[in-house]
Structure 1
């Protein structure tokens, strides 16, 4: 146990929820999978895939080989999906889909923990009756730690979750939805961790209004597992993705094996600097009292340190540019 704790560190489950507004176009599927890889998403819960039952294109790659889909039988609309990364040792126990394309549930284990993941897409009318029906089905299916994500097409707290502070959703619909969530002891994670903040996941060009209608829910007794949740920038879909970090039984090596980023060798200034570093190293260290084999092994460490330094600097610059771009996009949205 001591060896394990010293060699490994805890790893969060990185969950994403995103209304993708249709994935029948190959470029959109490729873009989604690239985004999932770059964000190191463990489990992706998607809505509005728009796959028609019996005619659905493939949505997987070597990084996300496992997928569960609920496709509408009548048209290319609705649809929900759950994708699981190859880095997550998820053992499937059961899955449940809806012929109406409103939800998909999957239950399984990650090491010694049981998880139930649910991706839900509610209609834009009578959301309360649809939610109540789905939660009743989920109640008999779920086990362990249940994570619910989806587009609910409603602002549960219009005063905070709408840029106008109001909603056209009937009051009885909101009351019924809140009651259903309360009866099932479900917590709106973003609002719980951002109690007074305003942020939005969707902009309606028709009503010229920003709203937060995309959610992550978890049972109240598992609320402490949530480390953070953020609404990201809206990019290629009309909804913003939500990112949730959840404590998990996963562990990762404290020190990962280093691999050379070969793209650094293609950079002429870096090659020139490396040549100068090695020239200086050998000039300072080749002496008659030090075996040449020792100098040779030492020079390998110098090369490794040089490339680690350059690779880290390049990654920091790239991450900073990405954060700045996303921050600018979010500022324009708000």
Structure 2
């Protein structure tokens, strides 16, 4: 996808180009996903929509059903979102768009090392046979999760209202790798206002990796860390490497061990849990978060 998809390209072909939107980790990134606008050809509707987006201070817009054709797409959508990437049809139907706010530190270029985060939007047309079992099996195999459900395991909310059937449903999804869940600070479903779909904001948090100190309370974790340290310094002798290299390398090794142990601890239990177990787990997480805040405050002000 790129600015004004060239003629002859199917509007929903996924192409890997050498220009990928990437962003520096400077502050929290507010992305609005899963927004079906049901057409942006009317100027009054565009003005109303972008006024709403600017008011909510959204950094990246991922829009669906823009209905902007290749031949009659407006050259200008909003001064607040100068970077526009469109994938349009030959007629005023379908279409997706990625818009980036002007205050973002936007860069275009080939991704060599994934130190930033790429953004991709895809919309599946409803013309093909839907196989929910195949989709669920694929998501499980690839360890892809529905981020809204991960953050709201027992909540009930809906993103679409059908006026014809007078019913609510949730047909807009945000999928991400399970390893990316920790980078998501929050995701919600907003009230359905001017379109018939509710927007789904996603807030990404940035920052350096920090040790989850609660892992040090586990005896097995401490034992594995001690064993790994002894093996590291035994295998990397002073005859082969310098003291500085051994010291820097051991920090990377220990960090990898902590990340692995945390991942195992969070994925050890895959079976569905009951409502009471979920409630108890959430209460325990709140207590752990409070304890972590107390330790962090003590470290900042008293040590």
TM tier relative to shorter chain: 0.5 to 0.7
1:283-302 equivalences in 2 (<5 Å): none
Residue 181 of structure 1, CA deviation = 2.3
2:54 is aligned to 37
Does the CA-based 8 Å contact 1:108-1:114 persist in structure 2?
A: no
Instruction: Report the Cα distance in structure 1 between the residues aligned to 2:55 and 2:129, rounded to whole angstroms.
Output: 34
Secondary structure of the structure 2 residue equivalent to 1:196: coil
Q: Secondary structure at the match of 2:188?
A: strand
Relative distance call for 1:62 and 1:249 in structure 2 (3 A) is farther
Query: Which one of 79, 83, 106 corresponds to residue 95 of structure 2?
Result: 79
The size of the alignment, in residue pairs, is 183
Query: How far has the Cα of 1:182 moved from its partner?
Result: 2.5
- Does residue 20 of the first structure (1) align with residue 37 of the second (2)? yes
Higher strand share: 1
How far apart are 1:91 and its partner, in Å? 0.6
Name 1:11's counterpart in structure 2.
27
Match of residue 293 from structure 2? none
Which residue matches 1:244?
A: 202
Q: What is the RMSD computed on CA atoms of the aligned residues?
A: 2.4
Matched residues in 2 for 1:10 and 1:57: separation?
32
Q: Any stretches of 5+ residues in structure 1 without a counterpart?
A: 1-8, 95-106, 129-172, 251-334
Match of 2:134 among 173, 176, 184: 176
Q: Which residue of 1 aligns with 2:169?
A: 211
Kindly indicate whether residue 158 of structure 2 is the aligned counterpart of residue 200 of structure 1: yes
Which residue number in structure 2 is paired with residue 56 of structure 1?
73
Runs of 4+ in 1 over 6 A off after TM superposition: none
Shift of 1:208: 2.4
Distance, in Å, in 2 between the alignment partners of 1:199 and 1:49 is 24
Which residue in the other structure is 1:93 paired with?
109
In structure 2, how many angstroms separate the alpha carbons of the residues matched to 1:45 and 1:175?
27
After superposition, the C-alpha distances for 1:62-99 in whole angstroms (9 at most, x for unaligned) are 321101000012x11110000011111121236xxxxx
Distance 2:99 2:47 in 1: 14
Tell me the distance in 2 between the aligned counterparts of 1:249 and 1:31: 34
Gaps of 5+ in 2: 1-24, 209-303
> Separation in 1 of the partners of 2:141 and 2:76?
35
Q: Distance in 1 between matches of 2:59 and 2:115?
A: 15
- Cα distance change, pair 19–188 in 1 and its aligned pair in 2 (3 A): same
1:216 shift after superposition: 1.4
Do structure 1's residue 114 and structure 2's residue 131 form an aligned pair? no
2: CA distance, partners of 1:108 / 1:91: 13
Aligned to 2:161, the other structure's residue is in SS state strand
Provide the C-alpha distance between the structure 2 equivalents of 1:108 and 1:42, rounded to a whole number of angstroms: 24
Is the Cα contact below 8 Å between 1:92 and 1:108 reproduced in 2? no
For 2:112 and 2:149, the matched residues in 1 are separated by 28
Q: 3-state DSSP class of the match of 2:116?
A: strand
Candidates 128, 139, 143, aligned match of 1:185: 143
Is the CA contact (8 Å cut-off) linking 1:113 and 1:249 kept in structure 2? no
1:232/1:108 CA distance change after superposition, 3 Å: farther
How big is the shift at 1:249? 5.5
TM-score, normalising length from structure 2?
Answer: 0.56
Shift of 1:10: 6.5
Give the whole-Å Cα distance in 1 for the aligned partners of 2:129 and 2:68: 22
8 Å Cα contact 1:60-1:66 kept in structure 2: no
